[in-house]
Amino acid sequence: MSSTHIVSIYDEELKYLSRRISEMGGTAEQMVADSVRALVSADAALAQKVISEDVILDNAERQINEKAIVTIAKRQPMAADLREIMGTIRIAAELERVGDLGKNTAKRVIAVQSSGMPRKLARGLEHLAELALMQLKEVLDVFATRSVDKAKAIRERDDEIDAIYTSLFRELLTYMMEDPRNITPCTHLLFCAKNIERIGDHATNIAETIYYMATGSQPEGERPKDDTSTSVVTADVSEASE
Amino acid sequence: MSSTHIVSIYDEELKYLSRRISEMGGTAEQMVADSVRALVSADAALAQKVISEDVILDNAERQINEKAIVTIAKRQPMAADLREIMGTIRIAAELERVGDLGKNTAKRVIAVQSSGMPRKLARGLEHLAELALMQLKEVLDVFATRSVDKAKAIRERDDEIDAIYTSLFRELLTYMMEDPRNITPCTHLLFCAKNIERIGDHATNIAETIYYMATGSQPEGERPKDDTSTSVVTADVSEASE
């Protein structure tokens, strides 16, 4: 067997891993988009579909891990190739977690559905999801092209998602203060909003991993601040609900 | 250089990785315990200490990853040794995440502190944290001894944590319905409780990883159900607050 032949099998293995990551990314995106659609339109059947799809990502992650480890053991790659495989494992874990967040949102659809959701709130959630999904889509494109500069840009864009999340957080508190009957559904919506906000963090983690795969080091500079809603304090009802 | 000598350097490298994981585990445990203590006793200085310690785990995870990858590249380990190193990387990521959850709880101390916390609620949170920390401690002991049977037992114990979390979730909703002034602090407490509940999930992930390191396969059987509070629906105030 010529060495070119061995190299080409190895390339095939790396391509296989990349393809599986792209597939996982597509499934995760779809699950998140569907979960938010199910939430906003109180669609229990769609929510159930999302919940049942979680196993696809669990299996994909396990298969990627197994393939990655077999590849390392057989090919004993050095430097860049080893980083490539290690990065793949890490990205698969991030995407599996994005699917979990979609599933968790879907699981709350029934608890939210009883109360009709105010239009403004639904728009806020949709907007948050749009931004998070855009970030996820971009990072998957960067994965396909391995553009280091773009990977850095994505990492710096989490602030916008955080600002919208914090404003949704405040809005949900206001609804809860206006009417105690809103408390239970809005609590579930708070967790849904948090799930969506977390997707941005996972996209950022993936961007950092791509940067590492290409360069062998972590991106420099402060990582964007996480969730500023942790310090939201509303003194009383009148102040909060204006 | 004799082959015994090479093996002994390699053993040293594996021991180094194990030691760093144990250290990370100790730091993560301490951060979580301190964050809950800060929350229950409204101790802003302790909360600040927890927040500042997060960087310790970030750095430790990065150092473990670097060392692990260098070890794979230099030693080109096969089968069990490769799994050992890959497992170490995964456990470091789980522990880093546990530290993040402690930090996030600590960040909410200021927002909660304004309102005095009912004694019953504080006890519930402390009990939840005790169980989660016990699970984390046990799994770190299992890591030190590599006992596969114990790893399986830990994985099956998440149900108790979930039951307490769901009962805390209901209790917090009740407080919110009783008085709108409770809504903001109780919302932050909901997230704190969720953070603590998540630690149980990470302990379970670590237990699964240890099982994988020892056997090369995933533990069989259903993974314990996650968070059943997602379906909590309380119809109205009088029903929920009795």
Task: Please indicate whether, in this complex, the C-beta atoms of A173 and B183 are within 8 angstroms of each other.
Answer: yes
Inter-residue contact A160 to A227 (CB < 8 Å): no
Cβ-based contacts of B173 with chain A (< 8 Å): 183-184, 187
Q: Is residue A89 predicted with pLDDT exceeding 60?
A: yes
Closest residue on chain A to B205 (Cα): A93
B7 touches chain A (CB under 8 A): no
**DSSP states along chain B:** --HHHHHHHHHHHHHHHHHHHHHHHHHHHHHHHHHHHHHHTT-HHHHHHHHHHHHHHHHHHHHHHHHHHHHHHHH---HHHHHHHHHHHHHHHHHHHHHHHHHHHHHTHHHHHTSPPPHHHHHHHHHHHHHHHHHHHHHHHHHHHT-HHHHHHHHTTHHHHHHHHHHHHHHHHHHHHH-GGGHHHHHHHHHHHHHHHHHHHHHHHHHHHHHHHHHSSPPPSPPPPP-GGGG-----HHHH--
Confidence at residue B5, expressed as pLDDT on a 0 to 100 scale: 62
Q: Is residue A46 predicted with pLDDT exceeding 80?
A: yes
Q: pLDDT band for position B236 (50/70/90)?
A: very low
Q: Is residue A117 predicted with pLDDT exceeding 80?
A: no
What ranges do the domains of chain A cover?
3-240
Q: pLDDT band for position A242 (50/70/90)?
A: very low
B119 Cα to chain A: minimum distance (Å): 21
B184 Cα to chain A: minimum distance (Å): 6
Of A62, A72, A230, the CB nearest to B108: A230
Non-local (6+) Cβ contacts of A210 within 8 A are A87, A91, A139, A142, A143, A146, A148, A151
Q: Is residue B43 predicted with pLDDT exceeding 60?
A: yes
The tens digit of pLDDT for each residue in A140-177 reads 999 998 887 887 777 666 788 989 999 999 999 999 99
Name the nearest CA neighbour of B61 among B34, B28, B29, B83: B28
Of B107, B176, B218, the CB nearest to A183: B176
What does the H/E/C string look like for A136-172? HHHHHHHHHHCCHHHHHHHHCCHHHHHHHHHHHHHHH
A63 touches chain B (CB under 8 A): no
Residue in the block written with tokens 């059943």: B228
Task: Please compute Rg for chain A using Cα positions.
Answer: 20
Cα separation, B202 vs B224, whole angstroms: 13
Cβ-based contacts of B76 with chain A (< 8 Å): 76
Mean pLDDT of B196-219: 89
Hey, is A235 helix, strand or coil? Answer: coil
Cβ-based contacts of A218 with chain B (< 8 Å): 62
Cα separation, B194 vs B119, whole angstroms: 19
Task: Please indicate whether, in this complex, the C-beta atoms of A180 and B176 are within 8 angstroms of each other.
Answer: yes
B79 touches chain A (CB under 8 A): yes
Cβ-based contacts of A79 with chain B (< 8 Å): 73
B216 Cα to chain A: minimum distance (Å): 10
Mutation for B interface: A51, A75, A187, A237, most B CBs within 10 A: A187
Q: pLDDT band for position A239 (50/70/90)?
A: very low
Q: pLDDT band for position B3 (50/70/90)?
A: low
Mean pLDDT of A123-151: 90
Cβ-based contacts of B234 with chain A (< 8 Å): 183-184
Task: Please indicate whether, in this complex, the C-beta atoms of A107 and B230 are within 8 angstroms of each other.
Answer: yes
A59 touches chain B (CB under 8 A): no
Q: pLDDT band for position A9 (50/70/90)?
A: confident
Confidence at residue B223, expressed as pLDDT on a 0 to 100 scale: 64
Rounded mean pLDDT of chain B? 87
Task: Please compute Rg for chain B using Cα positions.
Answer: 20
The tens digit of pLDDT for each residue in A174-203 reads 999 999 999 999 999 999 999 999 999 999
Q: Is residue B237 predicted with pLDDT exceeding 50?
A: no
Confidence at residue A119, expressed as pLDDT on a 0 to 100 scale: 79
Confidence at residue B65, expressed as pLDDT on a 0 to 100 scale: 92
Fold of B3-240: Methane Monooxygenase Hydroxylase; Chain G, domain 1 (1.20.58)
Cβ-based contacts of A240 with chain B (< 8 Å): 184
Confidence at residue A36, expressed as pLDDT on a 0 to 100 scale: 96
Task: Please indicate whether, in this complex, the C-beta atoms of B73 and A89 are within 8 angstroms of each other.
Answer: no
Of A78, A233, A240, the CB nearest to B73: A78
Mean pLDDT of A204-211: 92
Burial class (CB in 10 A: 0-12, 13-18, 19+), B221: exposed
- Residues of A numbered 183-242 whose beta carbons fall under 8 angstroms of chain B's beta carbons: which are they? 183-184, 187-188, 190-191, 194, 218, 226-227, 230-234, 236-237, 240
